[in-house]
Amino acid sequence: MENVIVIGCGRVGSQLATLLSDDERNVCVIDRRADAFGNLGQNFNGSTIQGIGYDEDVLIRAGIQECDVLAAVTQYDNANLMCAEVASRLYDVPHVIARLYNPQHERAYMQLGIDYVCGTSLVAEDVYSKIVSGHGAHVETFGDYELLRFSLNLSDRENTNSIRVADMEQDHEIRIVAFERRDGSASSIPTKDSVLYHGDTVLACVDHDKIREFSHFITD
C-alpha cells in the first residue's frame, strides 16, 4: 500500500486526504492546528499529527522514512517549499508535490525542480491526479484524460529500442502530442509515421483509466 503524507488540512488538504483514503492509500495528515482535522470526513481512515510540516521529529512520527509521496498543500508557499525541500533532500521521498499559492513564486519552484500545482479551485484534484498517475509525469487534467510528460521507457520491449507513433497510439488508445529527442537535438509534433526512441521526452494525452497499463512506458 502506498504511503502518503499530506501537509495542511484546510479545504485542499482535507479533500486530497479524503480522496486518497477512499482510494485505499495509507494517509497521514499533518497540520499545526488540531481543530483543522475536523475538516476530514467521517469516512477518513488515515492518521493525523499536530505539528509543523517541515519539523523533522513531526515528519518521522508521520512515517517520512517509509513515505512514497508527500504533498505540501498549506496556504503558505514558503512553508510548502520548506516541506518539499526537507522531504526530497533529507529523506529522498520519491515523489514530492507542493501547492503554489502565489504565481509570482513559480520561477523559484521551477529552478528548484519542485513538482507543483498552482492554487486554483481544483488543487486537490490536480494533486490527486499526480499521485495516482505516479512518476511525477502529470501535467494537466482534462475531464477523463491526463496530459503526461515523461521519458520514454522501451527497456521491456524485446530486440528494439524504438516504436512508431501510430503503433503506440493504436495499441494503447492514447495521443502523442509532441516529443523531443533524448539528446535535445530535435523536437517535433509527430505524424503517424514518426518513430520514438528509448529515452525520448514525450508529451502524451492518456485516458485516466488507461494510465496504469500504460505506466511501463514511463521512466521512473
Q: What is the CATH number of the domain that holds 160?
A: 3.30.70.1450
Query: In the predicted model, is pLDDT for residue 135 greater than 60?
Result: no
pLDDT for the residue 120: 54
The residue among 111, 133, 155 that closes a domain is: 133
Query: In the predicted model, is pLDDT for residue 130 greater than 90?
Result: no
For the segment 39-47, the average pLDDT, to the nearest whole number, is 88
Place of cell 539528446: 183
Range of the domain at 204: 145-217
Is the residue at 140 inside a domain?
no
Is the separation of the CB atoms in 36 and 5 below 8 Å? no
Is the residue at 177 inside a domain?
yes
Query: In the predicted model, is pLDDT for residue 55 greater than 80?
Result: yes
Strands (E), 51-158: 69-72, 95-100, 115-118, 138-142, 145-151
End-to-end CA distance of the chain: 18
pLDDT for the residue 32: 95
Q: Are both 79 and 53 inside the same structural domain?
A: yes
Q: Which tops the pLDDT comparison, 156 or 59?
A: 59
Q: How many structural domains comprise the chain?
A: 2
For the segment 112-135, the average pLDDT, to the nearest whole number, is 68
Query: In the predicted model, is pLDDT for residue 195 greater than 60?
Result: yes
Place of cell 508557499: 77
Q: Are both 27 and 108 inside the same structural domain?
A: yes
The residue among 78, 99, 133 that closes a domain is: 133
Q: Are both 116 and 165 inside the same structural domain?
A: no
CA 37, CA 35: separation in Å to the nearest integer?
Answer: 5
